[in-house]
């Protein structure tokens, strides 16, 4: 891949296309399941989408929602909303109708772009919400009839621009509010770290209803002048075909997808030959998975660390040099990472090209009290426990809220999961605290077998006893064909607790 120094950081998403438009408007900007777009065509799509929003009565500060598949419509709608200063709300299609309605009502969204299936499910469920539902056909007509006209006045890059809802694993989800200046910065720092130029072809299959994915697709690739390749669905065979057909150079995948690719004989190393690196969440990507993927496909797996409130990417593995077991890469140059009583804290880098510019979430939509102790100006208390090793790599130990306190002793799930990753027959694991009357919590583990031969739990437990202190060894076990996962490939802890309680009759 050619290397080039990235352009100056845009003020916000509203002007992220200006650099590549000035250099080469005919360069390929976007590939989606329904078509290909040059930078000039993507700019027109964004302009028409902005005009369509205006024609639907949307103005600066209004909340607009989308629950659409990965395709050009959601990309254009997002960029259009940013150009008129509206506030974007992505709503995952996999959510149940009451969950969708909650986010619509909580955000006060006036319009929801929804495909026919989502619209029908909302109507059929009879849930109440105040948003006007706009179907794809109506949106396409509005966009076609729109007259972009003169350039919109630039929005305030520090004003609220998007609401990203947390996963909502306990209670109601909270909406982290981000500004446009904060949304563009992770892409700028990543492009600078890698030295990417126009030959970047970044592939992503995670749902674009997740704000972090907009941060890491067109908002990132535009700052390199490269191409965002948007794929639909989680099927690894389709993803591998997309990587091969579009000569993707960087792919962002879930550890579970990497695990499946390794074991799928229909996916040949040549299918991934264009890849220069693969990204996977560091806390969920054990060393054995990283080694096995690299051995089978000859592609470097780079571990990452990021979170909704950051937004998106904060740490990334280097492509070369020594790897430290169980880490999640080095901080990007826009942030300074520190540890406050074991908790990972993010703040602006004090020096360098991005000094003083970091912007975490502005707070939580409609919940100022929820931001207390989390966001303090430009400082973010992540709630994750971890530390920087001597060589500057982040080691994540788990969530402060999910530390298992067993009889007064702290057990970090990530530590136990790293041991289980090397245990005989274990393909994937999730470690949680299970309520216990005497100890408060006991350590429990849900296991996914590596292959069809199954698992010998006695052998797994014996291996754990050889690697861990006795109080860290799981005492509650359940074996499942597949661990429950959300759209980002993460395993929700409450679902694992339910599995363990059901399996152990408690």
Structural domain boundaries, residue 454: 403-503
Q: What is the pTM of this model?
A: 0.83
DSSP state of 70: S
Q: Is residue 413 part of a domain?
A: yes
Q: Is residue 407 part of a domain?
A: yes
Q: Is residue 415 part of a domain?
A: yes
Element (H, E) at 483: none
Express each pLDDT in 96-122 by its tens digit: 888 899 999 999 999 999 999 999 999
Per residue in 449-471, is it b (16+ CB within 10 Å) or e — as a string?
Answer: bbeeeebebeebbebbeeebeeb
**How far apart, in whole angstroms, are the C-alpha atoms of residue 414 and residue 395?**
10
CB 102, CB 92: distance < 8 Å = no
Average pLDDT, the chain: 91
Q: Is residue 380 part of a domain?
A: no
Q: Is residue 464 part of a domain?
A: yes
Please state the domain count of the chain: 1
Q: Is residue 452 part of a domain?
A: yes
Q: Is residue 427 part of a domain?
A: yes
Angle between helices 287-297 and 255-263 (to 10 degrees): 50
CATH assignment of the domain containing 439: 3.30.300.30
Express each pLDDT in 127-137 by its tens digit: 899 999 999 99
| pLDDT > 70 fraction of the chain, expressed in percent and rounded | 95
Express each pLDDT in 338-384 by its tens digit: 987 789 999 999 999 999 999 999 999 999 998 999 999 999 999 88
pLDDT tens, per residue, the chain with 506 residues: 433 333 478 999 999 999 999 999 999 999 999 999 999 999 999 999 999 999 999 999 999 999 999 999 999 999 999 999 999 999 989 888 888 999 999 999 999 999 999 999 999 888 899 999 999 999 999 999 998 776 778 999 999 999 999 854 345 789 999 999 999 999 999 999 999 999 999 999 999 999 999 999 999 999 999 999 999 988 999 999 999 999 999 999 988 789 889 999 999 999 999 999 999 986 668 888 899 999 999 999 999 999 999 999 999 999 988 778 889 999 999 999 998 778 999 999 999 999 999 999 999 999 999 899 999 999 999 988 899 998 899 998 877 767 787 876 778 787 788 889 989 999 999 999 998 877 778 999 999 999 888 899 999 999 999 888 788 899 999 999 999 987 667 788 889 999 999 887 65
pLDDT at site 2: 38
Q: Is residue 53 part of a domain?
A: no
Express each pLDDT in 437-486 by its tens digit: 777 789 999 999 998 888 999 999 999 998 887 888 999 999 999 999 87
In whole angstroms, how far apart are CA 165 and each of 79, 114, 162?
Answer: 19, 17, 10
CB 457, CB 477: distance < 8 Å = yes
């Amino acid at each position: 891949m050619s290397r080039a120094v990235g352009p100056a950081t845009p003020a916000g998403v509203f002007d992220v296309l200006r650099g590549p438009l000035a250099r080469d408007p005919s360069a390929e900007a976007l590939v989606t399941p329904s078509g290909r777009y040059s930078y000039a065509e993507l700019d027109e799509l964004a302009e028409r989408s902005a005009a369509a929003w205006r024609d639907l009565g949307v103005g600066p500060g209004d909340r607009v929602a989308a629950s659409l598949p990965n395709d050009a419509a959601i990309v254009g709608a997002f960029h259009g909303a940013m150009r008129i200063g509206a506030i974007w709300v992505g709503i995952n299609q996999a959510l149940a109708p009451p969950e969708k309605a909650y986010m619509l009502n909580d955000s006060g969204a006036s319009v929801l772009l929804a495909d026919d299936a989502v619209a029908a499910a909302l109507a059929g469920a009879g849930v109440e919400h105040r948003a006007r539902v706009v179907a794809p056909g109506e949106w396409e007509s509005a966009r076609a009839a729109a007259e972009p006209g003169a350039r919109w006045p630039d929005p305030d890059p520090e004003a609220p621009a998007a609401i990203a809802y947390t996963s909502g694993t306990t209670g109601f989800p909270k909406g982290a509010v981000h500004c446009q200046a904060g949304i563009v910065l992770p892409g700028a720092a990543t492009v600078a770290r890698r030295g990417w130029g126009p030959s970047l072809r970044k592939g992503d299959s995670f749902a674009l209803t997740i704000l972090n994915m907009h941060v890491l697709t067109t908002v990132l690739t535009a700052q390199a002048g490269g191409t965002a390749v948007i794929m639909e669905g989680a099927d690894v065979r389709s993803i591998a075909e997309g990587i091969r057909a579009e000569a993707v150079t960087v792919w962002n995948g879930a550890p579970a997808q990497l695990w499946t690719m390794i074991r799928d004989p229909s996916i040949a190393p040549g299918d991934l030959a264009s890849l220069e690196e693969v990204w996977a969440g560091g806390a969920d990507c054990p060393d054995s998975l990283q080694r096995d993927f690299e051995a089978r496909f000859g592609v470097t797996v780079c571990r990452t660390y990021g979170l909704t409130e950051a937004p998106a990417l904060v740490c990334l593995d280097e492509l070369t040099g020594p790897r430290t077991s169980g880490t999640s890469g080095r901080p990007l140059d826009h942030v300074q990472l520190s540890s406050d009583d074991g908790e990972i804290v993010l703040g602006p880098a004090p020096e360098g090209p991005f000094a003083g510019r970091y912007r975490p979430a502005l707070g939580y939509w409609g919940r100022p009290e929820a931001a207390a102790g989390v966001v303090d100006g430009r400082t973010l208390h992540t709630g994750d426990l971890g530390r920087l090793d001597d060589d500057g790599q982040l080691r994540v130990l788990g969530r402060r809220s999910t530390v298992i306190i067993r009889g007064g002793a702290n057990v970090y799930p990530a530590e136990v999961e790293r041991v289980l990753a090397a245990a005989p027959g274990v393909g994937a694991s999730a470690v949680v605290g299970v309520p216990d009357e005497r100890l408060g919590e006991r350590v429990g583990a849900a296991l996914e077998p590596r292959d069809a031969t199954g698992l010998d739990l006695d052998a797994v437990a014996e291996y754990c006893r050889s690697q861990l202190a006795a109080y860290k060894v799981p005492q509650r076990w359940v074996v499942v064909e597949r661990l429950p996962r959300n759209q980002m490939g993460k395993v929700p802890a409450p679902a694992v607790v339910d599995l363990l309680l059901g399996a152990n009759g408690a």
